[in-house]
Amino acid sequence: MKCLLISLQSNAYVTGLKYIAANVRDKGHDVKILLLPGYLEPTLHPEIVNFIRDYNPDLIGISLMAIEFYPAKNLTRLLRESFQIPIIWGGVQVTVAPDNCMKYADYICIGEGERVVVSLLDHLYDKSRDLVPDIPGIWVRHKGEIIKQPDRPLEMNLDSLPFQEYLPGYYYVFHNNKIYNFCQHPKLFRRYALYGGTCHLMMTTRGCPFNCGYCANSSLTKVFGRKVRERSVENCIEELKMVKKDPYVLYINFEDDCFFVHDMEWIRKFCDEYKKYINLPFMVRAIPTMLDREKLLMLKDAGLSVIVMGIQTGSDHVNFDIYNRKVPFSSVIQANKLISESKAAPYYEMIVDNPYETEEDEMESINSMAQLKRPYTISLAHLTFFPGTPLTEKAVGEKLVDPDAYLTRYMVKIDKTYFNKLLYMTPYIPRFSIKYLNKTKATRNAIHIFLTGILFFIVKRTVEPAVFFFVITRGLNYNVNWTCRTVMSNWKTALAKLLFNFLGKGDMEFDERLELAKKNMPTLFEKDSHIFSK
């Protein structure tokens, strides 16, 4: 059986699809991955039609995050006009909003897809499309009815899943009206890949121990639960040995919600094996209350160069009472000191555009961040109200937000407000400047506004890149060779950030296509539009 897996995202890092594809191949089926970045055309391009016709898949899978919902809806309609191939949707958006997604697909996958897709391929081979598959984790459209199978038990033995490849030979992209094989055109892959394709993204765990009120994980826990499942050290190292064979991989990006959830024995063994067999710089994510000095220093010795830590807000009131995130800012200060001591490059994440935040909350957040030891860099994200989260239910109930707004806006597309600009500059300008500029709307004057605008322009185009370059250099232990290779490989990503504010070039183009589609294909954005249903 043949399976075509399609991603509509703007970049080439399709970690979830690569895991599914690897499992499909491992179980004896054939698979191809096709990247259609933000495809929102009114017709299916002949090149895509010919590619699908030549491959002749038995099943088409479409993976989607929230921002890809309308492109997925559009593509499904176009595929149905040209083919009679069953279509399954999967991904985070499907798991958090299954009833809405089921209106358009033949099947949807709730939760993890590795086993589900294989089971569906087996079913289509053995019993045909006319019979309802008795497969946990699948919802089915059958004779006008929706049949909801029970949730699939979680895969507890993550080591039993085959490894994802860094650049599979069956990965294709639709680029400039032609379809190319990424493996045969590695320069094209690096154009679409994050960070110029210099890193391999992988996960050593699945799950998050927190239940933050704003996070999609609080919806996903209804399916996945809160237990964190982990891979063995041996399993992780074997995948990395395979990845390291590609000379273009400069570092490893561990995407776990919190790498420090591993116990001390796991961390110690990982560090020993990593230094022995991999010995590449790597980055991890951390939660302030879970950061441990001994683990951190061991990881730094093993090659840790960048640590991403979610702070979200400098206001304990917002964190506790609005976000249900029991992380006091005192723990952030302590974690910041540990990261500074380790000399890993710190990258702190914050949430802005929160309708529940007062000006006093925003001022407190800026004052709190100004206390942290420098140097550090900062990333701002728009508060996105994902369906099913406690905060979304509260905000929608109080009519503060449009419940569908999350489908058309990137998290990194923030409002250009006075406080957002000042918060973004907090790591880079003198603290007396922050104190002077940190004023409410009623007390700030034209000088405050003018200085903030000028400083923001200067910081974004000079100071921030310089600080980023320094912390990366320090995080790489001042290794000139690695620093030069990292900078040379990432210059396009850095340039795109400068030119397109908080969106990357691919995201910016996707955003523009979405706006154009709203004007040219208004029916696509209507709720329950019958022409998109089967």
Q: What is the pLDDT of residues 5-38, one digit of tens each?
A: 999 998 898 999 999 999 999 999 999 999 999 8
Q: In what order do the strands lie in the sheet with 59-63?
A: 145-148, 138-142, 107-109, 87-90, 59-63, 2-7, 30-35, 171-175, 178-181
Mean per-residue pLDDT for 54-76? 95
Fold of 193-503: pyruvate-formate lyase- activating enzyme (3.80.30)
Confidence of residue 498 (pLDDT cuts 50, 70, 90): very low
Condensed to tens digits (0 to 9), the pLDDT of residues 301-348 reads 999 999 999 999 999 999 999 999 999 999 999 999 999 999 999 999
| Residue 278 to residue 302: CA distance in whole angstroms | 9
Lowest mean pLDDT among 84-88, 112-116, 262-266, 529-533: 529-533
Mean per-residue pLDDT for 265-287? 96
User: What's the pLDDT at 222?
Assistant: 66
pLDDT at 482 over 80: no
pLDDT at 49 over 90: yes
User: What's the pLDDT at 181?
Assistant: 97
Condensed to tens digits (0 to 9), the pLDDT of residues 369-392 reads 999 999 999 999 999 998 888 899
Mean per-residue pLDDT for 397-426? 91
| Residue 465 to residue 478: CA distance in whole angstroms | 17
What secondary structure, in 3-state letters, does 331-387 show? HHHHHHHHHHHHCCEEEEEEEECCCCCCHHHHHHHHHHHHCCCCCCEEEEEECCCCC
Condensed to tens digits (0 to 9), the pLDDT of residues 147-203 reads 999 988 888 899 999 999 999 999 999 999 999 999 999 989 988 888 778 889 999
With a pLDDT cut of 70, the percent of the chain lying above it is: 92
Structural tokens at position 23: 């499992």
List the chain domain ranges: 2-159, 193-503
Fold of 2-159: Rossmann fold (3.40.50)
Confidence of residue 499 (pLDDT cuts 50, 70, 90): very low
| Residue 371 to residue 359: CA distance in whole angstroms | 19
Confidence of residue 111 (pLDDT cuts 50, 70, 90): confident
pLDDT at 273 over 60: yes
User: What's the pLDDT at 495?
Assistant: 45
| Residue 338 to residue 333: CA distance in whole angstroms | 9
| Residue 47 to residue 45: CA distance in whole angstroms | 5
Condensed to tens digits (0 to 9), the pLDDT of residues 119-139 reads 999 999 998 888 899 999 999
Q: Is the pTM of this model over 0.75?
A: yes
Mean per-residue pLDDT for 464-472? 84
Torsion angle (degrees, nearest 10) of CA 332, 336, 342, 346:
100
Confidence of residue 532 (pLDDT cuts 50, 70, 90): very low
Return the amino acid letter for 143: K
User: What's the pLDDT at 533?
Assistant: 45
Confidence of residue 265 (pLDDT cuts 50, 70, 90): very high
pLDDT at 485 over 80: no
Q: What is the residue-averaged pLDDT of the chain?
A: 90
